Chain A
Amino acid sequence: MKRYVLRRLLQGAVAILGALLIVFVAQRLSGDPVALMLPMDAGEEEFAAMRAALGLDKPLPTQFVVFLGNALTGEFGDSYQWQAPAMQLLLERLPATLELALAGLVFALLLAVPLGVISAVRRGGVVDRAAKVFAMLGQAVPSFWIGLLLILFVAVELQWLPAFGRGTPAHLVLPAIALGWYPVAAMTRTLRSAMLDILESDYVRMERAIGLPERWIVWRYALRNALVPLVTMIGVYFANMLGGAFVIEVVFAWPGVGRTVVDAVFARDFPVVQAGVVLAAGVFVVVNLIVDLSYGFIDPRIRHG
C-alpha cells in the first residue's frame, strides 16, 4: 500500500513537470509580456530595459532552468501585474475555488444519486424520462449561460439570492448550481447503468429470494457497489469543476484562483500562470490519488498491492 502511494506520488510529480514544460514553452510562444506592461508610448529602449529587469532577455533554456530551480524551492517569482509572490496570490484564493467546486460537486451528487437510482429502478418511467431531460439540459447548455439565467431569474426577478460575490452560504447556491449541473447527466447515466447491471446480478436475486425488503437491496447493497464507477467520475469531474470554476468565477465575481489565472494568461503574467498550472496539476494528482485509494473502502474486493 505504501509503495503504491509512493509510486503514484512520483507519477504525479512527473505529470506536474510535464505540464510545466508545456506551459512554459506555450506561453513564450504566445508573445512578449512586456508589450502589455508598458504604456502605449513606450519605445524600443524601454522594452529592452523591462525585459532585462524581468530576466526575459536570457535564452529560453536558461530561463527554464532558473525557473525549475526556483520552483523546486517553492519560489515561483513575483507576479508581473501584482508585484506579489505568484504562488501566495493563488493560495490565498484557493479556498474560494475549492469551496465552489465542492459545492458544485455536492449539488451534482444530490441530484445524480437519487435520479440515477430511481431511473434504474423505474426504468422507462416518468422519473427516468424527466431525469434524462433535466440532466441533458445541464450538459447541453453552457455553464456560464446557466449562470447568467440564474442571475436574471433567481437574483433579479425573484430576488431570492444574491447575484454575485462570496460571503454567506446563500452566495454559494447559484454558482454551485451553474457549475454542478453539467456533470449531472453523465453521473446519472453512469449510476443508472451500473445499478441496472447490479440489480440483475445473482447476489441481488439471492437477496430477493431470501426476502430482504427491496428498499434495502437497492439503497444499501446495490447502490454501494454501483458507486465505484461514479467515484471514478467524481475524481475526473472534480478536477473538471476546478477548471469550469474559472468561467463561473468570472460570471459570479467569485474571488477564486480561476479569475486570477485567466487574467494572468491574458496579461502574459508568466509567474502566475506557471504557479497556477503547478497548483491545478497538484490538485488533480491529489484528487485522483484519493479516488484510487477510496475504491478499497467502497469495495473491499479491490486491493492495491
Chain B
Amino acid sequence: MSVRAIAAGAALALAAGAAGSDEEIVVAFGAEPQQVDPTRSSAGVDGYFIDLFYESLLAVAPSLERVNWLAESWEVREDEDGAVRIAVRVREGVKFHNGETLSADDFAYSFERLNDPVSPTRGRLRYVERIEVHDAHSFDFVLSSPDGALEALNLVLTAIPQSYYREVGDAGVQQHPIGTGPWKFVSRKPREELVVERFEDYWNKDAMPVAKRLRIKIIPEDTTRVAAFKTGAVDWIDAVPPAQVASFEELPDTRVVSLPGPNNLFLTLNAVDPGSPFRLKAVRQAVAHAVNVDDILRYVLHGQGIRTVQLAPGTLGYDPDLAPYAYDPARARALLAEAGFPAGFNVNCYNLTTPREPYFKEVGEILFAYLNEAGIRCRIVQLEYGAWINVGRTFSRPRMDGILSTMWGQGLPGDPTDAWSGHVHSTGDGWGTYSYHADPRLDAMIEELRTTMDPDLRVELIRRIARIKHEEMAGGVPTYRPMLTLAWRSDIDFEPWPGAFWRSMRGLRGRSTVGEP
C-alpha cells in the first residue's frame, strides 16, 4: 500500500547505513552537554565534550588508577609554619589547538576563572588560597588548610589557553573551545551533532587517534539510538538499555562492555526532624532489612548494577568485609515493633521520574513497595529533576520530610569525602546541603577525613566511618551503583577510559583496516 510505496521509493535514493568511513567514526550519545568550558561547567554530562578538548593535571587510567597527565610530577609539601602546598611540575612541549604552548600561567588563569562569581563550581577549590607560579613549568597550590579531597578531584585544574580565553570571552569559548586534548573542535549543531578532528600536534603520541574525524550525534531516545547502531548509521553508542544488553551481545561484529558508573544510589531518611521515626536506629535498620536489592538488580536491571554495602568495589576505602543487611521483612517488622511502631507508620516517599539512571523511577517505586510490605507505608511523591533536587536541599522549601530516593557521585574510581560531607555530616562543607543526619562522632571523623592528605590514613578513616555508618544506617541506606553499557563495531579500536564516565574518546584509535600493520 501507499506507505510501503513511499518508503520503498525513498529507500532507492539512500544508502540507509551511511556510517563513518575509514577516516571518520560516528558516535551517538544519549545525553547532550551544554557547557564546553571546563571552568564554567557544573554537570557531569558536560564532561562528555569537555573531555575531548581539554586535559587536566591528572587523569584516571582504564585500570582506575590515577596517572600524571599534564602534570609531569607533583608532591605535597608542608612549610615550616604548617601551611600545605602542592608543588606541580607541568609537562613541557604541550601545545594548545591554536598552536600556543602550555605554561604554568595557564593553570593560574584556570584557577582564577574557577573562582569567578559566575563560576558554578568555585566551591570545589575553597581550600586553595592561591596559585603561586614559579616559572613557565612549575607552580604551587597554596592551601589555607589541608584538603584531602583536592587530590581525589584530580587536582581539579584544567589547561585552558589564557590569551585565547581573554580575547574571545565566554561566548567565544562556547563557539570554539580550545584545549590541549587529542581532538580539535570543527563544528557543532546543538541538539544534533558535534564534529571534531584529530589534533596533529597532540603531545601524547601514545594516545594519538588514528581516525581523522569523529562525528558525535545526539540521540536521546533509547530505541532510536539502538536502531541507529543496528542499521549501521553509527559505529559506537552509549547507554545500551539494560533490557537489551543480552541481545546486543548476540549481534555480529559488535563489542559490548558494561562498566561501573560513578553514581551511588541510596535512600535518604530524615533522621533530624523532631517526630521523624527515622531518628531511631532500629527504624533505619528496618528499612535496610525491608528492601530486596539483589532481586531488583537481577529482575529489574538485568544485572546492570553493583550492590553496595557502603561503598562500591574500587572506591577509595572500600571494605570487602562489610556484609549487607539481609533481606528479611520479618526482622524489619520486629525492629519496627521494638522501636514502638508495631502497626507501622505513614511517611512521604519522594521519587525521581527523570531518567538520570536507567529505570531510576521504577527502582524507587519498587523500593517503596518493599517498605510498604514491612509496614512503612509510603505516600509516593513523584518529582521531575528540578523539583527532586530542590526537595533534597536542606535550605529549600518544601524540605524533605520522609524518604528520598537519591544518589551521590564523586567521579571514578570514587572517593566519598565530599559526598559524606554532604549527606552524613550534619552541616557539611559545601555539600552539606543534603544532610538529614546529625551525629557528632561522625561529624568529627568526616572533618578529619576532609583535612587528611595521607592516602593510607584516609583509607583507614573511610573504613572506620563506613563501619559506623553501616551499623547506624546513618546518612541513608545504600543500594547499588548502576552500570553503563557501551557497544561499538568490532573493527574499531577502542578502549573505554573512565573520564567523563566512560564516554572519553581518549581510548579511541580508529578503524582497523585490512593490511595495516
Interface on A for B, CB 8 Å cutoff? 30-33, 35-44, 46, 49-50, 53, 81-84, 89, 93, 110-111, 148, 151-152, 154-156, 158-166, 168-170, 173-174, 177, 250-253, 255, 259-260, 263, 266-268
Query: Can you list the 9 inter-chain pairs with the closest CB atoms, starting with the nearest?
Result: A160-B11, A255-B192, A163-B227, A170-B14, A39-B42, A253-B219, A41-B431, A170-B10, A41-B430
Q: Shortest beta-carbon distance, A134 to chain B, in Å?
A: 9
Q: Shortest beta-carbon distance, B130 to chain A, in Å?
A: 21
Is the CB of B323 closer than 8 A to any CB of chain A?
Answer: no
- Name the residue in B17, B121, B192 with the highest tally of chain A Cβ atoms < 10 Å from its Cβ: B192
Q: Which residues of A contact B220 (CB under 8 A)?
A: 250, 253, 259
Assess whether B231 is in contact with A163, with CB atoms less than 8 Å apart.
Answer: yes
Q: Which residues of B contact A268 (CB under 8 A)?
A: 386
For B364-401 the 0/1 string (1 means CB < 8 A from A) is 00000000000000000000111101100101100000
A164 and B227 in contact, given A40-B434, A41-B418 (Cβ under 8 angstroms): yes
Q: Shortest beta-carbon distance, A294 to chain B, in Å?
A: 26
Task: A253 to B389: give the CA distance in the assembly, Å.
Answer: 27
Q: Shortest beta-carbon distance, B443 to chain A, in Å?
A: 17
Assess whether A173 is in contact with B7, with CB atoms less than 8 Å apart.
Answer: yes
Assess whether A162 is in contact with B418, with CB atoms less than 8 Å apart.
Answer: no
Task: A49 to B123: give the CA distance in the assembly, Å.
Answer: 13
CB nearest to B221 among chain A residues: A251
Point out the residue from A93, A160, A266 that lies within 8 Å of B385, measured CB to CB.
A266
Q: Which residues of A contact B11 (CB under 8 A)?
A: 160-161, 170
Assess whether B14 is in contact with A151, with CB atoms less than 8 Å apart.
Answer: no
Task: A42 to B433: give the CA distance in the assembly, Å.
Answer: 8
Assess whether A35 is in contact with B3, with CB atoms less than 8 Å apart.
Answer: no
Assess whether B192 is in contact with A162, with CB atoms less than 8 Å apart.
Answer: no
29 A–B contacts, CB within 8 A, in A order: A32-B390, A35-B393, A38-B120, A39-B42, A40-B434, A41-B418, A42-B120, A46-B122, A46-B123, A49-B117, A53-B118, A81-B34, A82-B34, A82-B174, A83-B170, A83-B171, A151-B224, A152-B223, A156-B231, A161-B16, A164-B233, A168-B14, A170-B11, A173-B10, A253-B224, A253-B228, A260-B191, A266-B384, A268-B386
Chain B interface residue count, Cβ-Cβ cutoff 8 angstroms? 59
Assess whether A148 is in contact with B431, with CB atoms less than 8 Å apart.
Answer: no
Assess whether B231 is in contact with A159, with CB atoms less than 8 Å apart.
Answer: yes
Supply 10 further A-B pairs (C-beta < 8 A) apart from A158-B7, A161-B16, A255-B190. A41-B124, A156-B231, A160-B8, A161-B14, A163-B233, A164-B228, A169-B13, A170-B10, A266-B384, A267-B386
Assess whether A35 is in contact with B223, with CB atoms less than 8 Å apart.
Answer: no
A162 and B16 in contact, given A42-B120, A253-B218, A255-B191 (Cβ under 8 angstroms): yes
Interface residues of B in 144-185 (CB under 8 A from A): 170-171, 174
Q: Shortest beta-carbon distance, B252 to chain A, in Å?
A: 14
Interface residues of B in 21-38 (CB under 8 A from A): 34
Is the CB of B63 closer than 8 A to any CB of chain A?
Answer: no
- Name the residue in A49, A151, A260 with the highest tally of chain B Cβ atoms < 10 Å from its Cβ: A151
Task: A173 to B17: give the CA distance in the assembly, Å.
Answer: 16
Q: Which residues of A contact B396 (CB under 8 A)?
A: 32, 35
Is the CB of B2 closer than 8 A to any CB of chain A?
Answer: yes
Q: Which residues of B contact A33 (CB under 8 A)?
A: 386
Q: Which residues of B contact A267 (CB under 8 A)?
A: 386
Assess whether A41 is in contact with B422, with CB atoms less than 8 Å apart.
Answer: yes
Q: Which residues of B contact A41 (CB under 8 A)?
A: 123-124, 418, 422, 430-431, 433
Task: A168 to B387: give the CA distance in the assembly, Å.
Answer: 40
- Name the residue in A43, A49, A50 with the highest tally of chain B Cβ atoms < 10 Å from its Cβ: A43
CB nearest to B418 among chain A residues: A41
Assess whether A161 is in contact with B171, with CB atoms less than 8 Å apart.
Answer: no
Assess whether A43 is in contact with B8, with CB atoms less than 8 Å apart.
Answer: no
Point out the residue from B118, B224, B389, B422 that lies within 8 Å of A35, measured CB to CB.
B389
Is the CB of B441 closer than 8 A to any CB of chain A?
Answer: no
Is the CB of B73 closer than 8 A to any CB of chain A?
Answer: no
Q: Shortest beta-carbon distance, B428 to chain A, in Å?
A: 9
Q: Shortest beta-carbon distance, B89 to chain A, in Å?
A: 30
Q: Which residues of A contact B2 (CB under 8 A)?
A: 110-111
Task: A41 to B432: give the CA distance in the assembly, Å.
Answer: 7
Assess whether B42 is in contact with A37, with CB atoms less than 8 Å apart.
Answer: yes
Task: A39 to B10: give the CA distance in the assembly, Å.
Answer: 46
Task: A40 to B218: give the CA distance in the assembly, Å.
Answer: 25
Interface residues of B in 42-100 (CB under 8 A from A): 42-43
Is the CB of B6 closer than 8 A to any CB of chain A?
Answer: yes
Task: A37 to B7: give the CA distance in the assembly, Å.
Answer: 43
A83 and B219 in contact, given A31-B387, A163-B231 (Cβ under 8 angstroms): no
Q: Shortest beta-carbon distance, B41 to chain A, in Å?
A: 9
Q: Which residues of A contact B298 (CB under 8 A)?
A: none
A44 and B390 in contact, given A53-B118, A266-B384 (Cβ under 8 angstroms): no
Task: A155 to B226: give the CA distance in the assembly, Å.
Answer: 11
Q: Which residues of B contact A42 (CB under 8 A)?
A: 42, 120, 123, 430, 433
Assess whether A37 is in contact with B120, with CB atoms less than 8 Å apart.
Answer: yes
A160 and B7 in contact, given A148-B223, A253-B221, A255-B192 (Cβ under 8 angstroms): yes
A259 and B228 in contact, given A31-B387, A40-B422, A266-B386 (Cβ under 8 angstroms): no
Q: Which residues of B contact A93 (CB under 8 A)?
A: 191
Q: Shortest beta-carbon distance, B42 to chain A, in Å?
A: 4
Assess whether A43 is in contact with B17, with CB atoms less than 8 Å apart.
Answer: no
Q: Shortest beta-carbon distance, A136 to chain B, in Å?
A: 16
Task: A40 to B219: give the CA distance in the assembly, Å.
Answer: 26
Is the CB of B205 closer than 8 A to any CB of chain A?
Answer: no
A155 and B191 in contact, given A84-B174, A163-B228 (Cβ under 8 angstroms): no
Is the CB of B437 closer than 8 A to any CB of chain A?
Answer: no
Q: Shortest beta-carbon distance, B229 to chain A, in Å?
A: 9
Q: Which residues of B contact A39 (CB under 8 A)?
A: 42-43, 120-121
Is the CB of B134 closer than 8 A to any CB of chain A?
Answer: no
CB nearest to A93 among chain B residues: B191
Is the CB of B458 closer than 8 A to any CB of chain A?
Answer: no
Q: Which residues of A contact B386 (CB under 8 A)?
A: 30-33, 35-36, 266-268
Point out the residue from B3, B18, B227, B354 that lies within 8 Å of A155, measured CB to CB.
B227
Q: Shortest beta-carbon distance, A109 to chain B, in Å?
A: 12
Task: A173 to B393: give the CA distance in the assembly, Å.
Answer: 46
Q: Shortest beta-carbon distance, B136 to chain A, in Å?
A: 32
Assess whether A259 is in contact with B191, with CB atoms less than 8 Å apart.
Answer: yes
CB nearest to A154 among chain B residues: B7
CB nearest to B422 among chain A residues: A41
CB nearest to B119 among chain A residues: A46
Assess whether A155 is in contact with B231, with CB atoms less than 8 Å apart.
Answer: yes
Task: A250 to B7: give the CA distance in the assembly, Å.
Answer: 21
